[in-house]
């Protein structure tokens, strides 16, 4: 058994799926959940995702040999502060945050250093649904988990986190925190910004009712991620603002050039843009 007592702070899709996967693999003993919503936590116990729950973060982590933080990035620092003084001596802490630089900075601000047992991580998995009822044990199978340990991170702690994720069926990769944040800004954060912005814009046009009434499958697929948690994505924007804002600005420039080409019947530019996009998209799909 990899973990004797797991504390999951934030029992939603990400934290709940981890708990389910570890139970299914027989790699965890006791799981205690922690969060603010009593109804969600009671449902988690009812579904067998966790064994018990508390609203007290300090109480949740006491005696835990593994702590998983699945809280919004904006709540990360307060969560770490609430853990201070309650962690077991050899506890390993990891997280599921989509931005690593801010989480590492929060740890340093609270503890005065990056704790040796803290292993920043990010499972590249999820859906647009929220809450423990959306969780499922197979979420991480054949999906990547990126770990971004720093110089202070203990190698044994890294190995324990790697073993945890492998038991869930995940593939482990390591990256530098800054590299992670730049890459995720392009592959995850920017697409979410585009989906949110598109739906927000179309919701304000005069014929908005007809747009959503007659939208076909392509619109549904492209905008699916606009159903994601607004607070979570607000926090991601703030935490990774430089990388995300730069890409949004670059995309806005691209859209301006596209609009000019359309208005001016610039067939050559349109063909070049669309052909280049198709080539790179096809190469990406073929490479999966």
Residue carrying the six token digits 């027989």: 26
Would you say the C-alpha torsion 51, 55, 57, 59 has a positive or negative sign? negative
Confidence at residue 288, expressed as pLDDT on a 0 to 100 scale: 62
Residue carrying the six token digits 């205690």: 32
The domain spans of the chain are 3-175, 180-287
Q: What does each of the 288 residues of the chain score in pLDDT, given as a tens digit?
A: 789 999 999 999 999 999 999 999 999 999 999 999 999 999 999 999 999 999 999 999 999 999 999 999 999 999 999 999 999 999 999 999 999 999 999 999 999 999 999 999 999 998 888 899 999 999 999 999 999 999 999 999 999 999 999 999 999 999 999 999 999 999 999 999 999 999 999 999 888 888 888 888 889 898 999 998 899 899 999 999 999 999 999 999 999 999 999 999 999 999 999 999 999 999 987 776
According to CATH, the topology of domain 3-175 is: Rossmann fold (3.40.50)
Using DSSP, state whether 270 is helix, strand or coil.
helix
Tokens of 24: 């299914």
Contact (Cβ atoms closer than 8 angstroms) between residue 156 and residue 91: no
Give the separation between CA 53 and CA 33, rounded to whole angstroms: 5
Give the separation between CA 119 and CA 174, rounded to whole angstroms: 11
Give bridge partners of residue 66 from the DSSP assignment. Answer: 6, 92
Architecture in CATH for domain 180-287: Orthogonal Bundle (1.10)
Model-level pTM greater than 0.85? yes
């Amino acid at each position: 058994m990899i973990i004797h007592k797991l504390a999951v702070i934030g029992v939603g899709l990400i934290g709940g799926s981890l708990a389910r996967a570890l139970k299914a693999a027989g790699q965890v003993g006791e799981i205690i959940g922690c969060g603010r919503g009593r109804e969600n936590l009671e449902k988690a116990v009812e579904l067998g995702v966790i064994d018990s729950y508390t609203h007290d973060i300090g109480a949740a982590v006491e005696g835990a040999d593994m702590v998983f933080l699945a809280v919004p990035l904006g709540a990360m620092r307060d969560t770490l502060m609430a853990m201070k003084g309650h962690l077991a001596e050899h506890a390993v802490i990891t997280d599921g945050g989509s931005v690593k630089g801010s989480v590492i900075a929060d740890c340093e601000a609270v503890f005065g250093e990056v704790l040796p047992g803290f292993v920043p991580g990010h499972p590249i998995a999820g859906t647009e649904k929220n809450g423990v009822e959306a969780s499922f044990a197979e979420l991480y199978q054949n999906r990547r988990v990126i770990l971004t340990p720093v110089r202070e991170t203990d190698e044994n702690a890294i190995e324990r986190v790697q073993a945890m994720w492998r038991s869930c069926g995940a593939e482990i990769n390591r990256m530098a925190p800054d590299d992670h944040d730049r890459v995720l800004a392009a592959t995850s954060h920017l697409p979410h910004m585009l989906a949110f912005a598109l739906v927000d814009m179309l919701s304000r046009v005069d014929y908005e009712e007809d747009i959503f009434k007659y939208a076909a499958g392509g619109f549904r697929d492209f905008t699916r991620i606009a159903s994601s948690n607004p607070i979570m994505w607000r926090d991601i924007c703030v935490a990774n603002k430089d990388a995300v804002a730069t890409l949004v600005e670059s995309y806005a420039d691209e859209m301006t050039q596209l609009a000019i080409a359309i208005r001016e019947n610039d067939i050559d530019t349109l063909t070049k843009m669309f052909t280049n996009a198709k080539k790179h998209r096809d190469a990406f799909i073929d490479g999966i």
